[in-house]
Chains A and B, each alone.
Chain A
């Protein structure tokens, strides 16, 4: 649940824009209005410079070297892990934070390593109708392998999970997989009752934090989930680095996922012994510079203050809901809660019957970047009864002028198609 916060700082998106070189790129026509951060965020100069500096001054492989720059690499890599762990309130950052390629790999890790070892034919797992494909398909694959029963919490007309069905659907399940924030509706799901239902059934809770962690102050202990997956590139970090946080005892009880170097303590011709956490789950040379870049992104967000980031997005979401509704009235449908304090800063819209791709194309002419399509959530699209939406998503570098540019560009769609 989003916290209603006292402002402890403020974020001025217009000022911060100067930290993000791509937003100032020279281009024909109007300035770039980037409203696609839910897909991937832009990177501040601090992250780019940290990664460059690492490659230019300290780069070497981790875990093995006995020379100075290799030791520096080890230290920087370990520091990045600690930063990321503290950012989400991990009780044991040095052991509970596993670096992966992205959130998708993190979720596949849970399915294939924890799931395959702990689940049996006939076991049930509960997911929701609003999951991203990355928190559906890994479970489909596992269900085919093991013969699992899949159940789903549905989504009501206000874009909220139908929690009235939770007790019934959770009965006897071994695992509940749920997004903390819908990548389509922005809905922030209340984890409390879900964790409670899981506990009552001895089930674990796997949270998809891809949209939540970059935008909302996160404390895994307070959330109560057992695993949390998220990705670096949506939180000002580089691509190629994802995170799986897991409770230490659960990770200890989970066999390895990928096999190879680094993840072993010993290898003989008749077997192997897995390494300690977290290296047990990090086979091969890891994304070192990317992890260090993610650490720099975490520094940047913490300097702003995550309460301030969340406050900024609540304000800007309120402004966007108000502006779009006021200017476009009945022509526009905004899917989701439409309650700034109960959702993230993303707005999935349909504009009359203009196809989202056409809408996105028209907006692009005004420099406005939005995502169009099914957002990797086709079951939710079917539930909403649309083939796709155009999604505008907000982050620290956005301000009212970006929302105004979106609202203005939509009038061009009106002029063109009607």
Chain B
């Protein structure tokens, strides 16, 4: 049986107790995306300030369990200042870390037979603190908690892409 120490790593609890980039951005101009898990009631609101293809600022509000909130905090620190393409690569890497099944099914990801490397690494993507969330896969019910903010981020980037197609 997976132990609690696999799930509640110190770095996760630190992000939970002291969430980074907590707050709101004026929207508009910032893009506001909600993530909601109706099953457990976890809520995340991600604010994205995208400037010239770069995520200039990101803020997060919401309430929920330690996994959803710490994952959102870590997400904000990793993607802030990154280009949209880099952010998408991090999303792919993180989802790979969370669920190889999803990667396998998602043939559109362009990563061959799909299974992400066990450490979740993707070429050129440093997961940093995020690697601490790896233990979540041993607790399948909690994967949705960990990915909640990432799905909101992905949705925000998709909407951004629709509004402002990146230059050819």
Binding site for B on A (CB under 8 A): 28-29, 355-358, 361-362, 365, 372-374, 378, 381, 387-388, 412, 416-417
Contacts and interface: CB of A to CB of B under 8 A. Distances in A.
Given A373-B39, A387-B41, A361 B1 contact: no
Contact of A357 (B1, B4, B13, B65): B65
Contacts of B39: 373
Given A28-B1, A358-B65, A361-B139, A373 B40 contact: yes
Given A355-B65, A357-B65, A357-B145, 9 more contacts: A28-B1, A356-B65, A357-B40, A357-B64, A365-B4, A373-B40, A416-B4, A417-B13, A417-B66
Contacts of A355: 64-66
B147 to A, nearest CB: 15
B83 to A, nearest CB: 34
B142 interface: yes
A416 B64 contact: no
Nearest to A412: B4
Contacts of A416: 4, 8, 13
Contacts of B142: 357, 361
Interface string B142-155: 10010000000000
B90 interface: no
A373 B63 CA distance: 13
Contacts of A417: 8, 13, 66
A358 B142 CA distance: 10
A373 B41 contact: yes
Contacts of A358: 8, 65-67
A381 B7 CA distance: 27
A417 B4 CA distance: 12
A368 to B, nearest CB: 13
A116 B95 CA distance: 48
A29 B4 contact: no
Residue from the set B64, B65, B142 with the largest chain A CB neighbour count within 10 Å:
B65
Interface in B58-114: 63-67
B42 to A, nearest CB: 8
Nearest to A366: B4
B40 A365 contact: no
Contacts of B67: 357-358
B3 interface: yes
28 contacts: A28-B1, A29-B1, A355-B64, A355-B65, A356-B65, A357-B42, A357-B64, A357-B67, A357-B142, A357-B145, A358-B65, A358-B66, A358-B67, A361-B4, A361-B7, A361-B142, A365-B1, A365-B3, A365-B4, A373-B39, A373-B41, A374-B41, A387-B41, A387-B63, A387-B64, A412-B4, A417-B8, A417-B66
Nearest to B3: A365
Contacts of A356: 65
Q: Give the top 6 A-B pairs by smallest Cβ distance, nearest first.
A: A355-B65, A357-B65, A28-B1, A358-B66, A387-B41, A374-B41
A29 B41 CA distance: 30
A365 B66 CA distance: 17
Contacts of B139: 361
A42 B116 CA distance: 40
Contacts of A373: 39-41
A49 to B, nearest CB: 31
Contacts of B7: 361
Contacts of B64: 355, 357, 387
